[in-house]
Amino acid sequence: MKKKKPLIGVTGPARRLAYAWWATHLSLKLLGARAVHLTPHSAALATNFDAVIIGGGDDIDPVLYGEKPAERAKINAERDVFEVGIITQALAGKVPLLGICRGAQLINVVNGGTLHLTIRHRRKKTSNRSTLFPAKTALIEKGSRLEGIIGSDCCRINSLHHQAVDRVGEGLRIAAYDLDGFVQAIESKTDHFIVGTQWHPEYLPYLRTQRKIFKKLICVAADS
């Protein structure tokens, strides 16, 4: 009997022009999965899906990780509450979980970790310029789950962030850095599939290394 295509929930903001959602949807569809767009207006539970992707977007409210409210940060409190709930459900039910950019940061925060409010003034070897193209390098930790997925100790990545993981949350470990030493990926220390990338693989479907991330999530979801 042919296996049913896994159903993957993909979170994002409740807006019409959801570019990241459509890019992620296309990547998943081409690799044989079904995707559902989840927003704060969705009545969804993480346990209704074979896997969940927490997408990118606005900054996370600093109050969630013990910092003072940011004066000029663009945050979405409604989305924070919604996605914290989704992540909490996924953790409890051991639902496979992939975090992208903000999503990786929020997974870290939910697990008790913290973020750098901004890394712009800390960068020395890499540019602060945001780009959809693979202009930067991720150095992947040897023996990490991510290295096993990608099959290499480095890969080219894009960059659309000004924040990054600072203290890693409980049960997580660093899976990749960039040339400035900032965290570029995190993953679970356990068998529960949790991977968070600071970059956006959904905008790099033409790179085999990036397709492998979605492909592995789909494979794990199909077996869950």
Catalogue the active-site residues: 101, 200, 202
Side chain identity, residue 87 = I
Residue with tokens 């003034």: 121
- On whether the CB atoms of residues 118 and 162 are closer than 8 A, the answer is yes
Number of residues that make up the chain: 224
Q: What are phi and psi of 143, to 5 degrees?
A: 85, 0
Please list, residue by residue across 152-178, b when 16 or more beta carbons sit within 10 angstroms of its beta carbon and e when fewer do. eeebebbbbbebbbbebbeebeebbbb
